Amino acid sequence: MRVHLFVCTLLLGLAAGRAQAQLAVSGGLEYLHWAEDTQPISVRERGPLVTAGLAYTQPKDKGFLFAYRGKLYIGEVDYDGALLFAPNVPITGTTRYTGVANEAQLRYRVGHGLDFFGAAGVDAWERRLSSDQKENFTIAFVRLGVESTSKGKGWLLGAGIKYPVWARENAHFDDLGYDQNPYLKPGKNVSVFGQVGYRFEEHWALIGYMDSFRFSQSNVVTVTRNGAPAGAFLQPASELYVFGLKLEYTF
């Protein structure tokens, strides 16, 4: 979180002496859908998150340019699944999500309001299922996409693909009474993203978007309790989809 605040402060300083209409802040709501392929009862989480975003784009009419995108998100969603140590017992409850995403982009502006871009970033979130059970995910990812841009009134469109090049899950096994805390490594799959928005005047735009991660089954880790074998764990194949709507103000 300190890194995110540092980046935000740095970008504000960069933008202060540059051309107008390059720094943007936003706020909005997302609907999260998380699914795990668990047996015999599948895990499903659905619900709203509150978001705040910051974006910076280097002022340039054509050619290569740098951009940054950052987002904070938090909220509680509905949980439908089973007990960790009794997978045949169905339960419902709430899961609390808290996370931050940071992304650096290299864009190529061809003119006529069209950018092609490649991006690399890190998305890190805590998924707290109860007072004594939580999971921390850290995902490094790359994206390739295309976006339309508009300084005046007009549509804002974009789409592309996303790939998690590095994924780690800290399930905090030691907090559950085990001797070790090995990290899980979710498998990596390609996912998609997209947006549809409209800039209704120079400073204001309303943008709807979809983002996602897809993970295959992780490695299997074994743990002990008081030196005795106590079981094996894995992260099942999982999917994360968010559908959002944000109001953006561009300076």
CATH number, domain with residue 29: 2.40.128.100
Taking 50 as the threshold, does the pLDDT of residue 53 lie above it? yes
pLDDT of residue 24: 97
Query: Residue range 117-139: average pLDDT?
Result: 94
What's residue 84's pLDDT?
A: 75
CB 133 within 8 A of CB 109: no
Residue 10 has pLDDT above 90, yes or no: no
Q: Which of 32-46, 74-88, 171-185, 219-233 has the lowest mean pLDDT?
A: 74-88
Can you tell me the mean pLDDT for 114-128? 97
Whether residue 1 is predicted with pLDDT greater than 80 in this model: the reply is no
Q: What local confidence, expressed as pLDDT, does residue 54 receive?
A: 98
Handedness of CA 70, 162, 96, 29 (dihedral sign): positive
Who has greater pLDDT, 9 or 152?
Answer: 152
Q: What is the pLDDT of residue 99?
A: 98
- Long-range own/partner contacts, residues 220-227 (CB < 8 A, 24 or more apart): 221/173, 221/182, 221/183, 221/184, 222/182, 223/173, 223/178, 223/179, 223/180, 223/182, 224/178, 224/179, 224/180, 225/177, 225/178, 225/179, 226/179, 227/179
The reported pLDDT for the residue numbered 206 is: 97
Pick from 138, 226, 153: nearest CA to 183: 138
> Is there a contact between 135 and 129 (Cβ–Cβ < 8 Å)?
yes
* pLDDT value, residue 123: 98
Over residues 212-235, the mean pLDDT reads 96
Q: What is the pTM of this model?
A: 0.88
Alpha-carbon distance of 237 to 45, in angstroms, equals 14
Domain count, the chain: 1
Instruction: Provide the H-helix boundaries in the chain.
Output: 2-16
- Please give the pLDDT value at position 221: 97
Q: What is the pLDDT of residues 74-113, one digit of tens each?
A: 999 999 998 777 788 999 999 999 999 999 999 999 987 8
Residue 191 structural domain: 2-250
Give the model's pLDDT for residue 21.
47
Which residue did the predictor score with more confidence, 13 or 49? 49
Region 53-75: what's the mean pLDDT?
A: 96
